[in-house]
Amino acid sequence: MLVPGVRPHDAVSNDVLGMTAALRGDGHEVAVFALEGERVSEPVLHPDALHDWLSGPDDVLVYHYCVGWDIALDAMRRTRARRVVRYHNVTPPEFFVDWSPGYVAACTAGRAQLDDFAALQCELYLGDSPYNVEDFTSRGVDPARCAVVAPFHEIGQLASLAPQPARIPDGAPLVLTVGRISPNKGYLQLVDAFAALRAEAAGRDAHLLVIGKLDPNLSRYGEALDERIAGHGLDDCVTILQDANGAELRAAFERATAFVMLSRHEGFCVPLVEAMALGTPVVALGSSAMPSTVADAGIVWENDDAHLIAATVARLHRDESLREALRTRGHRRYATAFAPDALARELRTAFARFTSK
């Protein structure tokens, strides 16, 4: 497993560690290579040692592609092992044009390597979602070399935590969203929708809870978000928690009326799965990979019209049977598609091409 870095509570790292455990469970010897491995129990080796481990075509090198990284491209070009590109997607740079030149440069470099990896004709392109796989099939990669396995996650661990509700607001309804504070996540539109909800009688006691960190490099976007909240006069009914722990996240999912995600670009969106697994009704914008992640287990809209989102939350707030129906669908969706056993089975099927010879 080759990845730029491994750290706790990180979506890509969780996938690396989950895949490692699943493959070991199937009897494979697996090692993780990264430039940094912080506070994880898995031993992390330096990428310089890769070629000592990969002796020939019986081995498999899995690269977790989420940023532009020349070391990985070089390693994939040189190795004699079979190559798997585990693609988590790279956010298109246009989302950051008005906010951060650094992000624009990084995302541009990251997406530029799509052509390079497609040209390598690796043995397997393993996307988190059908949406991710399209990035390679549209560049001429044979669909027979592509497969989809949803990312491994730590939802089981999250579900086992005792909820800590002390900092979770009492909203009726309580609108929850989870994810780093970034322009592609559609937070400004979410605040507009929340303002529309507050303007209605059903939403007078509503509260919006945002759980996610803001990168200092995107501070201008954070300021714009604050201005939008203040512009609607919502300072007292919007809470942003940048330092929530797992137990608080667990409590937020438990207390929320709806989990609303209006992101414009997601390669998969793990928080949607967390909401489904923990029984929170999902309302999402049908952009990028989100429709395939939610499927029929939530309410997915083709646009993020503020009144439409507000009316959906208001309906969920007053309609217990609708909430229960979405909870049931969410549990079923998680159990059949995203539970660890299901992911391990899908991964085994995808890797069967390497073991069935």
Among 284, 349, 353, 355, which residue's Cα sits nearest to residue 150? 349
Residue (57 or 101) nearer to other proteins, CB: 57
Residue (311 or 350) nearer to other proteins, CB: 311
How deeply is 343 buried, as exposed, middle or buried, from its count of CB atoms within 10 A (0-12, 13-18, 19+)?
A: buried
What minimum distance in Å lies between the beta carbon of 260 and other proteins?
Answer: 13
Q: How many helices (H) and strands (E) does the chain have?
A: 14, 14
Contacts of 357 (CB under 8 A, 6+ apart): none
What minimum distance in Å lies between the beta carbon of 347 and other proteins?
Answer: 27
Omega before 173 cis (within 30°)?
yes
- Give the H or E element holding residue 85: strand 82-87
What minimum distance in Å lies between the beta carbon of 117 and other proteins?
Answer: 26
C-alpha 120/C-alpha 82 separation (Å) is 11
The neighbouring-strand residues paired with 169 are none
What minimum distance in Å lies between the beta carbon of 200 and other proteins?
Answer: 6
Residue (315 or 331) nearer to other proteins, CB: 315
Distance from the Cα of residue 88 to its chain's centroid: 8
Coarse DSSP helix, strand, coil percentages of the chain, rounded to the nearest 5 percent: 50, 15, 35
C-alpha 107/C-alpha 180 separation (Å) is 16
What minimum distance in Å lies between the beta carbon of 191 and other proteins?
Answer: 11
Residue (42 or 305) nearer to other proteins, CB: 305
Residue (12 or 206) nearer to other proteins, CB: 206
Contact residues toward other proteins (CB under 8 A) are 55-56, 192, 195-196, 199-200, 296, 299, 305-308, 310-312, 314-315, 319, 322, 325, 329
What minimum distance in Å lies between the beta carbon of 326 and other proteins?
Answer: 9
What minimum distance in Å lies between the beta carbon of 206 and other proteins?
Answer: 14
Residue (270 or 326) nearer to other proteins, CB: 326
C-alpha 146/C-alpha 263 separation (Å) is 25
The neighbouring-strand residues paired with 45 are 33
Residue (9 or 332) nearer to other proteins, CB: 332
Dihedral sign for Cα 200, 201, 204, 206, please.
Answer: negative
